[in-house]
Amino acid sequence: MSEKKIMVIGSSNTDMTVVADRLPVPGETVLGGKFAMGPGGKGANQAVAAQRLGGNVSFICKVGKDIFGENAIRHYNNEGMDTTGIMLSEQPSGVALISVDTHAENCIVVASGANGDITEADIESHRKEIEAASILLLQLEIPVEAVVRAAKIGHEAGVYVVLNPAPACDLPEEIYQYLSLIIPNQTEIALMTGIEARDEEGAAKAVEALRSKGVQDVIVTMGSKGSMVYHQGQATFVPSKKVNAVDTTAAGDTYCGGLCVALSEGKDIIEAARFATASSALTVQKRGAQDSIPYRKDIIL
């Protein structure tokens, strides 16, 4: 396990997943699905991924005073991460309703609950823990104001600040100057910049638009194709591993967690992207969110 602390601040959900032959269109009911329930949430997924892949992880989130929250805290403790930053809310714990088809495509509806109750004051109360981290990993399933405050605290303390801008939303211009690395997918970077990133040329233009806002480095994840890493003015394509994908849920989260672990171990950003790619390739071969996240011993580069 790396000695460098990875701080993850984000959402904690309980995922309720139905696997069916196809995804329904609006107004349609599809019968014959199989149901499963398990832990999820982008923040929690990335924290669990980083922990399982060898990171030294602290997780800050907010859960409700209900059975879902109790189970979540017990689960994170069992994973071995530092859970002293987990807060309790009067709101119910977050839940996500996930539909997955036989082609591994999914659609997700999230009821944020306690995740939406994280305030700037909550983040400020954990200032010392954030400042003591080496890497701060953030997403956008909690209020943007809280994300910005965390990024600012981390940046001012010299922490390496990583943002996975998912789900995509309007971000205040202020946040970009606090980011060491941003990891959008093709859809997210297009929504953020107004520039389509279907190919290398389009991705490069979109990346420059982000870099002009103050971001140091950018990685654009491109699903089954791989990822484009933009570091110090150089673009490097890291191809994906060809596997039989059955469920893409948590693949991006595993990528982000794995990347931060590799960086915490002193790997350069290209090596880190290769490690993250190998990690996410294992995730898509199993169903579920955290149930599909691999362990360090499983990774083959």
Positions marked active-site: 253
Report the sign of the C-alpha dihedral through residues 297, 49, 15, 184, in that order.
Answer: negative
Rg, the chain, Cα only: 18
Q: Report CA-CA distances (Å) from 253 to 1, 8, 11, 240, 270.
A: 19, 12, 12, 15, 18
d(CA 50, CA 97): 24
Q: What secondary structure letter does DSSP report for 27? A: T
- Among 249, 214, 208, smallest CA distance to 228 is for 208
Distance of CA 229 to the CA centre of its chain: 17
Strands 34-40 and 226-231: unpaired
Q: What secondary structure letter does DSSP report for 85? A: T
Q: What secondary structure letter does DSSP report for 50? A: H
Q: Is residue 170 exposed (0-12), middle (13-18) or buried (19+ Cβ within 10 Å)?
A: exposed
SS3 at position 223: helix
Strands 56-60 and 217-221: unpaired
